[in-house]
């Protein structure tokens, strides 16, 4: 082979290997549930962002807020102060001997099916409830101001807040029988087995479950990220109606009973909740699901896949300049 042809062959080989490398990289799936840390702001793809906008020191006498540069923020101060002037039944909570602050975020509403902020906490694990909100009357996913009462060691100058963001990966309906399969995106779900669970061993506390529950073991393949979404869902009965409640034997309650359950003023709610939930194998390719619906009285399962990413927002100033 002359040098010119040899050079051309080498070029073709390099190009082929490059394409193969790109193709190999393309099949790798980024983990949508990998914990992330972001300074002061985190963008939710296509859905807005969570932004720390300021911090406030509140007492029974005054409220003073500062922005992300640590400078006084008169506008934020007036907004927070006006909230408590109008919302006279809203309490401010303080802990003795701690640095008490209101940490304010601009964040999207949980209006869409794609994601939900399911939990908020400090990086030390202190659970946080929103102490107040402004702008929640906007349209779907419109941002609003929400703030949290955070208490820390008096010596700390900065804090971090952790948001648990649960995202929906899609859903599918598959037959409720062993060997059935269905796909949600790139993931394929196979029902390995359906077994009657030992009394008191399936799902929640026996107080909240009927006498009989069934364990549905599934294998999830094709989801190439290191963390696999968890599965939840409900069953459809043999008439194609979604099963919301069952009796103590796992038989679906009548459509009339279900309608009454959602009628205004109907109390108490009859029967037991019929939802399907993961009880073993969270985040793995092999999961055990518990459902209180008798398989002989159901035709199919509606399955949804979701997972949670922990987003830690850091560099939150606890004191002004």
Number of domains in the chain: 2
Q: Is the pLDDT of residue 134 over 50?
A: yes
93 confidence band (pLDDT: 50, 70, 90): confident
Does residue 4 sit within a domain?
A: no
Residues 224 and 127 in one domain: no
Residues 53 and 80 in one domain: yes
Residues 188 and 125 in one domain: no
Lowest model confidence (mean pLDDT) among 48-52, 91-95, 145-149, 194-198: 91-95
Q: Of 45, 22, 30, whose CA–CA distance to 226 is shortest?
A: 30
Residues 125 and 191 in one domain: no
Does residue 256 sit within a domain?
A: yes
Q: What is the pLDDT of residues 206-241, one digit of tens each?
A: 445 678 899 999 999 988 777 788 899 999 999 999
More confident residue, 44 or 191: 191
Does residue 6 sit within a domain?
A: no
Asked if 247 and 253 count as a contact pair (C-beta separation under 8 A), the reply is yes
Q: Which residues of 191-221 are buried (b: 16+ CB within 10 A; e: fewer)?
A: beebeebeeeebbeeeeebbebbbbbbbebe
Does residue 25 sit within a domain?
A: no
Assign 99 to helix, strand or coil. Answer: strand
138 confidence band (pLDDT: 50, 70, 90): low
Whole-angstrom distance, CA of residue 252 vs CA of residue 249: 9
User: Both tokens of residue 238?
Assistant: 């043999």
Q: Which residues of 138-158 are buried (b: 16+ CB within 10 A; e: fewer)?
A: eeebebebbbbbbbbeeeeee
CATH number at residue 212: 2.60.40
**What is the predicted pLDDT for the residue at 27?**
40
Instruction: Give a three-class secondary structure readout of 77-90.
Output: HHHHHHHHHHCCCC
Q: Is the pLDDT of residue 75 over 90?
A: yes
Q: 196 is in which domain, residue-wise?
A: 169-307
Q: What is the pLDDT of residues 47-59, one digit of tens each?
A: 688 999 999 999 8
| Threshold 0.75, pTM exceeds | no
Does residue 228 sit within a domain?
A: yes
CA distances from 283 to 174, 231, 275 (A): 21, 9, 19
Give whichever of 58-62, 111-115, 139-143, 259-263 has the largest mean pLDDT.
Answer: 58-62
Residues 183 and 293 in one domain: yes
Q: What is the pLDDT of residues 254-285, one digit of tens each?
A: 766 666 665 665 556 678 889 999 999 988 99
Residues 181 and 301 in one domain: yes
Does residue 5 sit within a domain?
A: no
**What is the predicted pLDDT for the residue at 55?**
98
Residues 176 and 302 in one domain: yes
pLDDT-above-90 percentage for the chain: 55
142 confidence band (pLDDT: 50, 70, 90): confident
Q: Of 156, 150, 293, 136, whose CA–CA distance to 213 is shortest?
A: 293
Does residue 260 sit within a domain?
A: yes
Residues 183 and 298 in one domain: yes
Residues 53 and 158 in one domain: yes
User: What is the pLDDT averaged over residues 151-172?
Assistant: 93
Asked if 210 and 247 count as a contact pair (C-beta separation under 8 A), the reply is yes
Residues 185 and 293 in one domain: yes
**What is the predicted pLDDT for the residue at 136?**
72
Residues 190 and 147 in one domain: no
Chain position carrying tokens 């939930």: 277
Residues 197 and 239 in one domain: yes
Does residue 28 sit within a domain?
A: no
């Amino acid at each position: 082979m002359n040098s010119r042809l040899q050079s051309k062959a080498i070029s073709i080989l390099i190009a082929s290997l490059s394409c193969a490398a790109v193709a190999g990289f393309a099949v790798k799936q980024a983990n949508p549930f990998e914990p992330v840390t972001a300074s002061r702001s985190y963008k939710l793809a296509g859905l807005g962002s969570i932004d720390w906008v300021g911090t406030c020191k509140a007492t029974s006498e005054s409220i003073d807020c500062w922005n992300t540069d640590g400078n006084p923020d008169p506008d934020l101060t007036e907004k927070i102060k006006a909230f408590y002037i109008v919302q006279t039944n809203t309490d401010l909570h303080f802990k003795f001997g701690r640095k008490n602050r209101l940490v304010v975020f601009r964040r999207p509403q949980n209006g869409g099916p794609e994601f939900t902020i399911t939990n908020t906490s400090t990086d030390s694990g202190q659970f946080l409830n929103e102490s107040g909100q402004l702008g929640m009357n906007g349209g779907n996913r419109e941002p609003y101001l929400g703030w949290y009462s955070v208490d820390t060691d008096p010596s700390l100058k900065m804090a971090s807040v952790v948001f648990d963001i649960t995202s929906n990966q899609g859903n599918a309906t598959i037959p409720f029988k062993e060997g059935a399969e269905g796909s949600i995106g790139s993931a394929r779900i196979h029902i390995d087995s359906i077994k009657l669970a030992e009394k008191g061993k399936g799902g929640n506390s026996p107080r909240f479950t009927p006498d009989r529950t069934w364990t549905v073991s599934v294998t999830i393949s094709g989801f190439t990220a290191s963390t696999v979404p968890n599965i939840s869902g409900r069953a459809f009965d043999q008439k194609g109606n979604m099963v919301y409640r069952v009796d103590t034997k796992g038989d679906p309650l009548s459509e009339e009973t279900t309608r009454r359950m959602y009628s205004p003023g109907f109390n108490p709610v009859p029967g037991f909740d019929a939802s399907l939930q993961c009880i073993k194998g969270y985040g793995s390719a092999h999961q055990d699901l518990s459902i209180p619906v008798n398989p002989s009285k159901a035709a199919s399962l509606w399955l949804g896949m979701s997972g949670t990413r922990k987003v830690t927002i850091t560099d939150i100033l606890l004191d002004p300049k």
